[in-house]
Structure 1
Amino acid sequence: MTTGTTGTTATNGAQWRVDFDAEVVFSNGGALQMQGFRLDIPGADIGDAELGELVVRHLGLLMVGSTKITRRELVQEPHKGSRNTGATGPDRAAAADLTGPATRASWPAGPGTAAPALAGLVDLPVVLVRLLGAGQPVADRLALAPFDLAGHAVVVQTGRAAGPYLTEDAVDLLAGQGAALVATDSRQGDGPVAAALAAAGLPALTGLTGLEALPATGVRLHAVPFPGRDNSLIRVYGVTDDQH
């Protein structure tokens, strides 16, 4: 167990999270217990009192009487966008080329829908869903539930080139909430989920690279199809809103 007591600035561009167990006791009765909970932290260490406050802010808890951290362990891994933690990460590059050799685009099905207008593929706000370390890095409805999806490019980082990255229920949620497109580092460009995305009118960008360079928030996506007959070829960029 790591026992540091004060937050410090992360070094060498590293991003840190904390894996912990805790108990939150409410002043009006009742308690909340957490086991193996993970949060982004703004530095390379965090104390128990500061972590307790972070939990309260992140979950938006009211009438908290006390917090008790019973275990904590620092984990060096990319931030996943924990809310209200002040974890912005290291200095952010202005732009990152996310195109790899296997990057491809799949377009909605039906006549006249070979590719959406270019204006629909650029300057899209990004929802970044990081599933690194998950036993099954596949985004379902619950993985997407915390996010505002309307008009966003939903980028699912699985950490693997092969295998599924969405469930069909997740596709229903994306379509119902008006997501603009889906992108992923997985290369899976066919199968039931791809068919569901096409039927829902959602473009899909697969085989992206360099997603670890993106900050958890504040990214806009630009996707530009290559000229020519093969409209599956595309170049994809992630551009940050600001720099820290």
Structure 2
Amino acid sequence: MTDYRAVFDADIAFVNGGGLQTEGFRLDLPGHGLSEREIGELLVRHLGLAMVGTVTLTNLEIVEEAHKGSRGVSADARSGEGEAARRIEFVDLSHPIRAGLVTYPGLPAPTITPHLTREASREKYAPGTEFAMDVITMIGNTGTYLDSPYHRYADGGDLASLRLETLVGLPAEVFHLTDATGRGIPAEVFYDRDLAGAAVLLHTGWSSRFGTPAYADGAPFLTEAGARHLVAAGAVLVGIDSLNIDDVESGGQRPAHSILLEAGVHVVEHLTALDRLPPRGARFTAVPPRVEDFGTFPVRAFAEVPAAAG
């Protein structure tokens, strides 16, 4: 069987500044017909780079040459081993909901009104027994919430159709991007990870502005290319701790929502506390109620994180 290697010069820029250049780099290839983008992704995996913004290859040539053992990035780190991995810390990743909470500027805040007060309930129950029954009125886009395909597409699956195995205990691949120099999260950021079957969580740090006017201005987002890469990589869910997974300041286009939800990839927005998660090794859960003909609803999102050995 013939082995192939790529020979090229490379210019790699990082989203948090700085870069890396190579000349005459040689990289094992799994076959002959790879695109320049695919070779760039292999390069990032081989070098084990994180926070990559762009990869530019020049003077690219494919040659027949015996492989030298170019490495990728092992996915074994997801599973964890030993007693420490079995001891779990739960991390709440949801914003609390309260009456008057403004999640997204322009959308109505929730209201909470009593249906049966404790005082009134005393007339219905035995002495010493009382209950409160309240009514909450809110838009589905309140607090930390999940978008199903029905949110974007009339024929997409609604909340009641979502399979639990796509919502519960997903291996979490967390990308810590708080020092990124641009708002848009590019596809190249994800090149160093195996994302098949994962919940991809984008930690931008924007949740610190939640509930303030500053939350609505200049928020980070996932680029169209980034969304396409995550679908191709087999991600099951994508979450972000920002105002929207799309750039809401560029007009009415919503490419990230459109691409992800069309592919059946769930979207969770307005996460918080992602700084408490490791890049790998946690498990992510976000389950909405089974509401038919409804696309978006708040979730209690949380992560199970293996506790450090004491």
* 1:136-162 CA-partner distances (Å, limit 9, x unpaired): 143211001111010000000111144
- Output the CA distance in 2 between the equivalents of 1:171 and 1:118: 23
Q: What runs of 5+ residues in structure 1 fail to find an aligned partner?
A: 1-18, 23-28, 32-57, 61-82, 85-91
Given the alignment, which residue of 186, 192, 200 partners 1:146? 192
* 1:83-134 CA-partner distances (Å, limit 9, x unpaired): 89xxxxxxx9711010114211111235250131222200100111111111
Change in Cα spacing, 1:174 to 1:20, as seen in structure 2 (3 Å) is: closer
What is aligned with 2:279? Answer: 216
What is aligned with 2:225? Answer: 169
Q: How does 1:1-244 map to 2 (within 5 A)?
A: 59=47, 94-101=89-96, 102-108=143-149, 109-111=153-155, 113-115=157-159, 116-161=162-207, 162=216, 163-188=219-244, 191-226=254-289, 231-244=296-309
Aligned length: 170
- Output the CA distance in 1 between the equivalents of 2:196 and 2:18: 32
Whether the 8 Å contact between 2:156 and 2:262 is mirrored in structure 1 is no
* 1:9-57 CA-partner distances (Å, limit 9, x unpaired): xxxxxxxxxx9999xxxxxx999xxxxxxxxxxxxxxxxxxxxxxxxxx
Q: TM-score by structure 2 length?
A: 0.47
Larger radius of gyration: 2
Deviating beyond 6 angstroms after TM superposition, the runs of 4 or more aligned structure 1 residues are 19-22
1:234 positional shift: 0.9
Whether the 8 Å contact between 2:283 and 2:304 is mirrored in structure 1 is yes
- Output the CA distance in 1 between the equivalents of 2:230 and 2:156: 22
Change in Cα spacing, 1:218 to 1:189, as seen in structure 2 (3 Å) is: closer
Whether the 8 Å contact between 1:168 and 1:192 is mirrored in structure 2 is yes
The AA in structure 2 aligned to 1:195 is: S
Percent identity between the aligned chains? 33
1:228 positional shift: 5.3
* 1:190-237 CA-partner distances (Å, limit 9, x unpaired): 633222222222110000111111122211101121465764111101
Whether the 8 Å contact between 1:127 and 1:153 is mirrored in structure 2 is yes
Whether the 8 Å contact between 1:221 and 1:236 is mirrored in structure 2 is yes
- Output the CA distance in 1 between the equivalents of 2:18 and 2:265: 38
The AA in structure 2 aligned to 1:238 is: A
The AA in structure 2 aligned to 1:208 is: L
Q: TM-score by structure 1 length?
A: 0.59
Task: Indicate the structure with greater helix content.
Answer: 2
Whether the 8 Å contact between 1:138 and 1:158 is mirrored in structure 2 is no
- Output the CA distance in 2 between the equivalents of 1:148 and 1:189: 21
Whether the 8 Å contact between 1:223 and 1:236 is mirrored in structure 2 is yes
Whether the 8 Å contact between 1:100 and 1:207 is mirrored in structure 2 is yes
Q: What runs of 5+ residues in structure 2 fail to find an aligned partner?
A: 1-16, 26-45, 49-72, 75-86, 97-142, 208-215, 247-253
